[in-house]
């Protein structure tokens, strides 16, 4: 190795270390400024603990299990919202995913537009979509379904496009070399390679939607979240505890089922 290269590596290392220090310094300042700005003190942590314990032992626990049946309907509603939301986002995102993938998109302009739509839909949190939709279509699971559909589509367009970009170009070339047109190239060259990640991402989105569905209900968009926020607003914390256990159980159950399905399908 020549002197020059060594010198370059050394300078580069020093430069990297300097940037790393700058980043650490930046974060330390950010944490301190945030603590100052919100009036947060470390003692809030241990002063808060008795309050939290009191709340847990006196208000929240024991859960009033006798009301468990009341959450059966909302649980079904949460599952329905998650599934219908996932279905809508898959149907919407599948074509846009193709348009947003660099290697199969008809034109760079189309690709950029599809990507921009995706960024917009997924950067706005689902609960904000839900809040807007509740003002439009009224309180209930339909608003939640559309909200999940929109934010899910944003994520799926990006994930689908990224997986399509990762596929082997050789297979597309091979199909094209047989004289196949665009449609046949898609069906025989792209789709078979893309379908495992398509299934995988869609299932993952369903999993995420169960979590989001439990939360969008807090703004009135139906399901378990709505039951939970109603219980909390009425100060019925022991019923709220049952709702939380339902949510927890549902999330874990769906996680288990989607993991099994993924293993089975792929």
Partner 1 sequence: MSDLKIVAQDLYGRSPMRRLMPLWWALGLTALFVVSILGMNLNIARIIEGGDRLVVMLGQMFPPDFSILGRIIGPAIETLYVAILGTFLGVVFSIVIGVLAAHNITPHVTVEIALKGFSAFTRAVPALIWALLFIVAVGLGPLPGILALAVNSIGMLGKVFAESIEEIDKGQIEAVAATGATPLQIISKAIIPSVTPALVSWSLFRLDINIRYSAVLGVVGAGGIGIELVRSTRMLAFDETLTITLLIFVMVWAVEYVNNKIRAFIR
CB closer to partner 1, 13 vs 56: 56
Residues 6+ apart with CB under 8 A from 117: 96, 154, 157
Cα–Cα distance for residue pair 128/143, rounded to 1 Å: 11
Q: Which is nearer to partner 1, 101 or 148 (CB)?
A: 148
The least CB distance from residue 168 to partner 1, in Å, is: 19
Q: Smallest gap, in angstroms, from Cβ of residue 214 to partner 1?
A: 6
Nearer to partner 1, 79 or 153 (CB): 79
Nearest distance in Å: CB 103, partner 1: 19
Toward partner 1, which CB reaches closer, 172 or 218? 218
- For residues 227 and 75, give the distance between their C-alpha atoms in angstroms, rounded to a whole number: 10
Task: Look up tokens 């009191």; give the residue.
Answer: 54
Cis amide prior to 126 (ω within 30 degrees)? no
d(CA 209, CA 94): 17
Smallest gap from residue 243 Cβ to partner 1 (A): 9
- Dihedral angle at the C-alpha atoms of 15, 19, 22, 23, nearest 10 degrees? -160
- Identity of the residue, 113 or 132, whose beta carbon is nearer to partner 1 in the bound complex: 132
Give me the least distance between CB of 196 and partner 1, in Å please: 14
Q: Give the Cα separation of 163 and 199 in Å (integer).
A: 11
- CA gap 143, 217 in Å, rounded: 9
């Amino acid at each position: 190795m020549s002197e020059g290269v060594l010198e370059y590596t050394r300078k580069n290392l020093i430069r990297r270390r300097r940037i790393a220090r700058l980043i650490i310094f930046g974060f330390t300042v950010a944490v301190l400024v945030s603590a100052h700005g919100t009036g947060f003190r470390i003692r809030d942590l241990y002063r808060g603990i008795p309050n939290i314990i009191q709340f847990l032992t006196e208000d929240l626990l024991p859960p009033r299990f006798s009301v468990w049946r009341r959450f059966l309907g909302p649980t079904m509603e949460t599952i329905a919202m998650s599934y219908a939301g996932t279905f809508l986002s898959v149907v919407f995102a599948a074509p846009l995913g193709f348009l947003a993938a660099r290697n199969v998109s008809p034109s760079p302009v189309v690709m950029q537009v599809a990507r921009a739509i995706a960024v917009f839909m997924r950067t706005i949190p689902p609960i904000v979509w839900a809040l807007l939709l509740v003002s439009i279509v009224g309180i209930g699971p339909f608003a939640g379904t559309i909200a999940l559909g929109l934010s899910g589509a944003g994520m799926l367009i990006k994930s689908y496009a990224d997986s399509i970009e990762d596929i082997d170009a050789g297979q597309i070339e091979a199909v094209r070399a047989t004289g196949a047109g665009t449609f046949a190239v898609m069906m025989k060259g792209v789709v078979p390679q893309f379908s495992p990640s398509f299934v995988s991402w869609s299932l993952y989105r369903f999993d995420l939607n169960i979590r989001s569905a439990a939360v969008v209900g807090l703004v009135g968009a139906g399901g378990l979240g709505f039951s939970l926020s109603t219980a909390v607003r009425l100060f019925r914390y022991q019923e709220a505890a049952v709702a939380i256990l339902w949510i927890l159980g549902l999330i874990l159950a769906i996680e288990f089922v989607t993991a099994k399905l993924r293993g089975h399908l792929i």
